[in-house]
Structure 1
Amino acid sequence: MTLDNPPIAAIATAPGRGGIGVVRASGKQLTQLIDTLFPGVSLTPRHATYLPFKAANGDILDEGLALYFRGPHSYTGEDVLELQGHGGPVVLQMLLTRVLEAGKEAGLRLAEPGEFTRRAFMNDKLDLAQAEAVADLIDASTEAAAKSASQSLSGAFSKVVHTLVEQTIHLRMLVEATLDFPEEEIDFLEKSDARGQLAVIIQSLEHVFRQAAQGALLREGLNVVLVGQPNVGKSSLLNALAGAEVAIVTPIAGTTRDKVSETIQIEGIPLNIIDTAGIRPIDAEVDLVERIGIERTWGEVAKADVILHLLDADLGPRAADEAIVAAFPSGVPVLRVWNKIDLSGHRPAIDRSEDATHLYLSANEHQGIDLLRAELLRIAGWQQTGESLYLARERHLIALRNARQHLDFAAAHAAQTDQSLDLFAEELRLAQTQLSSITGQFTPDDLLGVIFSRFCIGK
């Protein structure tokens, strides 16, 4: 659906200094802009031309490459001009100002965040899942996340979703055709094997959901919060997991006053490990700074995906520890980590009891750290399947869950052979709508605005 939008321009490379910087312009017709910027020069589409970039008065701003892509054979589906010069922020801003000035009569304006990719979506160069994968590839924090984002960008995720949509549409056609012949309705389910077709769709959807859920872990990661009394070894454990001295460790109680965060990778999954101030009763001995630190600890606990409750294995359980557990939010996995087993004589181990899972380790001696890493993966639900994963977003998972729910309702109606097929057909339609929202076929404009507004400018 090619749209007649005004041309746009922006700096397409990240802020800061670099060897190369790019200014990009896109529009329905950029011939006038090119003629103004480079009078007397003919740019061959899809070929790089080395030339000076000049100001309106003829002064040379920079020298570099000009690349012209004639629509629809471009990223956005429109004409695209890229000027590749030196990556200094000042020279790039001067070049962008010159481009905006040269295209003023044609209505050229500064691009909004994500507008180039939004135009690619609107002009059918990418579907919505692929467009989101562009941002995910840029933001990928691990190699595994980057590979999965690349898979989605290539259309692998969209392809399996399209297959589910086509299977659902095919079954809908059979159901709705039968609705025109009520006398055949009773025999429909048996003759067309509607239940069998529906079972295949549900099974395929389950497989896609598992892959998408695993990919979502690669994208989002987990917020793991270290909580416990002062001097139980939270900072030492953070350093052991990070493999570096990122937090100060001393025998003085209350050393950590504010949160200390470090992102690590386990099997390609990013984990945001957050060390917090030690929790103890707030009394006259607790100064203002530590008091604020304790308050911030509980703020991080409220946002945690996993809580590591650290305890001193040498001292054993204490009443204050149970008070901390009682204040944890419900629904958040809690792993009780008994540190300092080098002093207590325990061996590295995991004990899964009815009330909680207990893990024994020594942060100082790096004993049991691998057990902790494996347990964090288990809590996250990570399974190393060897299959390609799709770097799914939360909205994708919600759509897949909703589609599965509608298919389950459809199966319930199909089981009642003496009932009209109207409800069966309606549930299939609703499932199709949910699946199609993933690729953008039935996505509302306000959602599109939210999605693309989170992109960087120039992309």
Structure 2
Amino acid sequence: MQARNADPIAAIATAPGRGGVGIVRVSGKHIAAVIEALCGRPLKAREATYLPFRDAGGTAIDHGLALHFPAPHSYTGEDVLELQAHGGPVVLQLLLARCLEAGAEIGLRLAQPGEFTQRAFLNDKIDLAQAEAIADLIDASTEAAARSAARSLSGEFSQEIHALRDGLVHLRMLVEATLDFPEEEIDFLRKADAHGQLSKLQQNLQIVMQRTRQGALLREGIKVVIAGQPNAGKSSLLNALAGAELAIVTPIAGTTRDKVAQTIQIEGVPIHVIDTAGLRSSEDAIEAIGIERAWAEIETADAVLFLHDLTRAALPDYQAADTAIAAELLQKLPPRVPVIDVWNKLDSMPQAQPGVLALSAKTGAGLHALRHKLLEVAGWQASPEGVFIARARHVQALQRVDAHVALAVAHLAAQAQFLDLLAEELRLAQNALNEITGAFSADDLLGVIFSSFCIGK
């Protein structure tokens, strides 16, 4: 692994396809030979130079800008060469091939996905949370997510984690010192206000956890499945939420045979909405498969919109079928997954019962209330400017920190006899925090994170 990290690497750094500009990036030691071969002369540090990029025979492949960033003042912390050429795929492939040819003697090879950013992490240019924020900024599907990723990339999230870690380190120092002088232990901890420090750390941790949950929601969104009997208006509701005719809508029961999915934004939060086949008993083999797939989607949902038809609400058969579906939802869904009852076709039956969530997918009446309800169910709080992008692993790590700190509070309250356990809980809490920024990370975790990046980044 370390030997591979020492290899110089090269890749096309721009997205596949045609574009006005394309970039080929080279990073590593001893790349002067590559610079000389492509550019014909050395380059001034951090100064863009317009010149021809030449092949082995001296013929120009293209003309463009070349930049040399000497280590450690570069993205990766290594010597970096960037060639900015015209963005045709053939031109960029020719430039990349020429770089690899010129760098053969120094072991120049193609970069793996995320390897440039991984080197930035390994060379202490960024921490792991910032590295993940780079990928999240690239993948951001909403403006709020992009702004939050930019805040994480600038180090705001890492600073919060470092502040918590520093508090834990200080407490560990107090406890470890106390263990070395057992005859002073209770008075020593009281004088240092260890209890007050731990309570303050707990309060700060709760604030960070809340902002992190919001950041994870911005990145991941929630999966919402629309379920209900045939002809309740599920496809019409999807179309209304998406603002486009995505699903086929007809008066014929069973029109929807397979799922139709669309991601919408509500206040910057991605909501992955899935329309499914109407739930009923069916002897039609194709429709039965669609219904089976509908239940499979329901079972993996973060929330279920149980859509009812106001125009049929008083019919005994319809009521019985809705009751059966509700019972099956209760049986198949875990308690944490909310089921939101929504009554459709308000345009035909304007006298809906008070207190119910009623709407018209046809006219759009009531959609605002539904969007608000979805945000409420997701746990979103309208404070995107204070949120940094986060991932599920960050939330899980902070939950472990919270559990260890809670045990530490209990051990501190028990005083002298549990100081060893207090020290251990503080150590475990610090380790969990270190996983977020990469101060302590397993190699397999790094492999998973950086393999999800695009090549050239």
Q: How many residues align?
A: 447
Q: Which residue of 1 aligns with 2:288?
A: 291
Q: C-alpha deviations, 1:204-227, integer Å up to 9, x for none? A: 000000001011110001111111
Q: C-alpha deviations, 1:276-307, integer Å up to 9, x for none? A: 12222022xx2x33232222212211221111
Paired residues of 2:32 and 2:42 also in contact (CA < 8 A): no
How far off its partner does 1:71 sit?
Answer: 0.8
Q: Which residue of 1 aligns with 2:440?
A: 442
The question of 1:330 aligning with 2:334 is answered yes
Q: C-alpha distance in 2, partners of 1:134/1:96? A: 24
How large is the Cα RMSD of the aligned pairs? 1.6
Paired residues of 1:346 and 1:360 also in contact (CA < 8 A): no
Structure 1 range deviating more: 415-424 or 137-146: 415-424
How far off its partner does 1:173 sit?
Answer: 0.6
Paired residues of 1:171 and 1:197 also in contact (CA < 8 A): yes
How far off its partner does 1:387 sit?
Answer: 4.8
Q: Which residue of 2 aligns with 1:432?
A: 430
Q: Indicate the SS of the match to 1:86.
A: strand
Q: Which residue of 1 aligns with 2:402?
A: 404
Q: Which residue of 1 aligns with 2:239?
A: 239
Q: 1:315 aligns with which of 309, 312, 316?
A: 312
How far off its partner does 1:404 sit?
Answer: 0.8
The residue correspondences of 1:93-132 to structure 2 (distance < 5 A) are 93-132=93-132
The residue correspondences of 1:4-19 to structure 2 (distance < 5 A) are 5-19=6-20
Paired residues of 2:233 and 2:307 also in contact (CA < 8 A): yes
Amino acid at match of 1:439: T
TM-score (norm 1): 0.94
How far off its partner does 1:421 sit?
Answer: 1.2
Q: C-alpha distance in 1, partners of 2:308/2:445? A: 45
Q: C-alpha deviations, 1:15-35, integer Å up to 9, x for none? A: 121111111110022111111
Q: Indicate the SS of the match to 1:343.
A: coil
How far off its partner does 1:347 sit?
Answer: 4.9
Q: 2:365 aligns with which of 364, 367, 389?
A: 367
The residue correspondences of 1:181-200 to structure 2 (distance < 5 A) are 181-200=181-200
Q: C-alpha distance in 1, partners of 2:253/2:17? A: 41
Q: Which residue of 2 aligns with 1:342?
A: 347
Q: C-alpha deviations, 1:113-145, integer Å up to 9, x for none? A: 100000000000000000000000000000000
Q: Which residue of 2 aligns with 1:27?
A: 28
Q: Which residue of 2 aligns with 1:153?
A: 153
Amino acid at match of 1:346: Q
Structure 1 range deviating more: 19-28 or 148-157: 19-28
Q: Which residue of 2 aligns with 1:137?
A: 137
Q: C-alpha deviations, 1:417-452, integer Å up to 9, x for none? A: 242411111111111111111110111111111111
Q: Indicate the SS of the match to 1:183.
A: helix
Structure 1 range deviating more: 176-185 or 414-423: 414-423
TM-score (norm 2): 0.95
Q: C-alpha distance in 1, partners of 2:52/2:416? A: 78
Q: C-alpha distance in 1, partners of 2:166/2:264? A: 40
How far off its partner does 1:59 sit?
Answer: 3.2
Amino acid at match of 1:344: M
Q: Indicate the SS of the match to 1:345.
A: coil
How far off its partner does 1:323 sit?
Answer: 2.3
Paired residues of 1:348 and 1:361 also in contact (CA < 8 A): no
Q: C-alpha deviations, 1:27-53, integer Å up to 9, x for none? A: 0221111112222x2311111111122
How far off its partner does 1:247 sit?
Answer: 1.7
How far off its partner does 1:345 sit?
Answer: 2.3
Q: C-alpha distance in 1, partners of 2:213/2:418? A: 36
Residue 346 to residue 91, structure 1, CA distance change in 2 (3 Å): farther
Structure 1 range deviating more: 68-77 or 13-22: 13-22
Q: C-alpha distance in 1, partners of 2:63/2:256? A: 52
Of Structure 1 and Structure 2, which has the larger fraction of its residues in helix? 2
Give unpaired runs (5+ residues) of structure 2.
none
Q: C-alpha distance in 1, partners of 2:275/2:251? A: 16
The residue correspondences of 1:186-225 to structure 2 (distance < 5 A) are 186-225=186-225
Q: Indicate the SS of the match to 1:431.
A: helix
Q: C-alpha distance in 2, partners of 1:133/1:337? A: 37
Q: Indicate the SS of the match to 2:61.
A: strand
How far off its partner does 1:264 sit?
Answer: 0.9
Amino acid at match of 2:319: R
Structure 1 range deviating more: 374-383 or 328-337: 328-337
Q: C-alpha distance in 2, partners of 1:340/1:386? A: 34
Q: Which residue of 2 aligns with 1:388?
A: 386
Paired residues of 1:29 and 1:78 also in contact (CA < 8 A): no
How far off its partner does 1:239 sit?
Answer: 1.2
Q: C-alpha deviations, 1:249-286, integer Å up to 9, x for none? A: 11122222221111111011011111112222022xx2
Give unpaired runs (5+ residues) of structure 1.
352-357
Q: C-alpha distance in 2, partners of 1:386/1:218? A: 9
Structure 1 range deviating more: 106-115 or 420-429: 420-429
The share of aligned pairs that are identical, in percent, is 62
Q: Indicate the SS of the match to 1:45.
A: coil
Paired residues of 1:348 and 1:367 also in contact (CA < 8 A): no
Q: Indicate the SS of the match to 1:64.
A: strand
Paired residues of 2:10 and 2:25 also in contact (CA < 8 A): yes
Q: Indicate the SS of the match to 1:408.
A: helix
Residue 115 to residue 386, structure 1, CA distance change in 2 (3 Å): closer
Q: Which residue of 2 aligns with 1:354?
A: none
Paired residues of 1:348 and 1:368 also in contact (CA < 8 A): no
